[in-house]
Amino acid sequence: MDRSLFSLLTSLCLVFSSVGTCSADLIGTVLQSGQSGTLDNPVIPEIATFNLTGAPLQTITSFDITFTVDDGDSDVGDADHNNLVLYLNGVNTGVLLNGFGDGSTEELTFSSIVSPTLSAQLNATLGTNTLVATIVDLTPNSSVDSFTTTGTNYVSFPFNHSGSPTSASITIQGITAVPEPSSIVLSFLALSSFGGARMLNRRRRKKLS
């Protein structure tokens, strides 16, 4: 192989490998679904469906989610304390949704660090930047969750509270692959010098011939 051609290929490889990473966010805020029901339904009610904005993330590192629940029964001493888990696009995030009291409406925020495995699972579902947040009950068949009893584990995700809109919001933090400015300059210099060297070689050959 021609030496100059080899150099050119090498420099191109260098250019393409000279990309860095930077932190970025995917953000979504939307009115809550207004859905309600028991969490052991065949169809589990949605908290909200987010349409995320932001560049695709190479790796998800953490997220914060804020939403409002009526009668979650997950406060200390309530029937579903430590039983409710947040799912995003059907993926179990492992985040326990404690703190939603019996017979109350509460807005809470949950923050979580995301493991590489969970990051990969979530990223695989984020093709269209649509994110559906749901709650899954880890003890769906307990007596408190059954339809046969009254006044039980119903939850609601209202979109209106006394005339004010009730929104849910999520921020997904992560890193995205972008070329670094210094790398770009270095790569440009490398390319220019290789091109110059090749041009000099050609001239020299021409002269010799």
Partner 1 sequence: MRSFTRLVQFASLAFLISSCGSLSASSIITTSHLQTGTSGVVPLGGPSSFLPVANFSFSGQSSTNRVNWLSVTLTLSDGDTGVGDADYNHINLSLDGVNTGLIANGFDHGSVLTRTFSGMVASPLGVLLTSKLADGHAVLGLQTSVLSVIDKGTGGNYVSALKKCKVNGSPVFTPIFASLSFSQVPEPATLVTLSALGLGFLARRRRDRLHAKKLNSISN
- Residue 83 within binding range of partner 1, rule CB under 8 A: no
- CA pseudo-torsion sign 171, 177, 179, 183: positive
Work out which of 11, 83, 93, 152 binds partner 1, going by CB under 8 A.
152
Work out which of 143, 147, 185, 202 binds partner 1, going by CB under 8 A.
147
- Residue 119 within binding range of partner 1, rule CB under 8 A: no
- Residue 97 within binding range of partner 1, rule CB under 8 A: no
Tokens of 182: 């210094």
Q: Considering the complex, what minimum distance in angstroms separates the CB of residue 106 from partner 1? A: 5
CA distances from 144 to 25, 38, 80, 85, 137 (A): 39, 10, 9, 17, 11
Work out which of 68, 74, 89, 93 binds partner 1, going by CB under 8 A.
68
- Residues within window 98-117 making contact with partner 1, judged by CB under 8 A: 101-107
User: Quick one: 39 exposed, middle or buried, by C-beta within 10 A (0-12, 13-18, 19+)?
Assistant: buried
The kind and range of the H/E element at 142 are none
User: Quick one: 99 exposed, middle or buried, by C-beta within 10 A (0-12, 13-18, 19+)?
Assistant: middle
- Residue 140 within binding range of partner 1, rule CB under 8 A: no
- Residue 25 within binding range of partner 1, rule CB under 8 A: no
User: Quick one: 155 exposed, middle or buried, by C-beta within 10 A (0-12, 13-18, 19+)?
Assistant: buried
- Residue 156 within binding range of partner 1, rule CB under 8 A: yes
- Residue 154 within binding range of partner 1, rule CB under 8 A: yes
Work out which of 17, 117, 128, 162 binds partner 1, going by CB under 8 A.
162
Q: Considering the complex, what minimum distance in angstroms separates the CB of residue 47 from partner 1? A: 12
Which residue's CB is nearer to partner 1, number 104 or number 115? 104
Work out which of 47, 70, 89, 134 binds partner 1, going by CB under 8 A.
70
Give the 3-state DSSP-derived string for 31-99, with helices as H, strands as E and coil as C.
Answer: ECCCCEEECCCCCCCEEEEEECECCCCCEEEEEEEEEEEECCCCCCCCCCCCCEEEEECCEEEEEECCC
- Residue 158 within binding range of partner 1, rule CB under 8 A: yes
Applying CB under 8 A, the residues found at the interface with partner 1 are 32-38, 41, 43, 45, 68, 70-71, 101-107, 147, 150-152, 154-164, 166
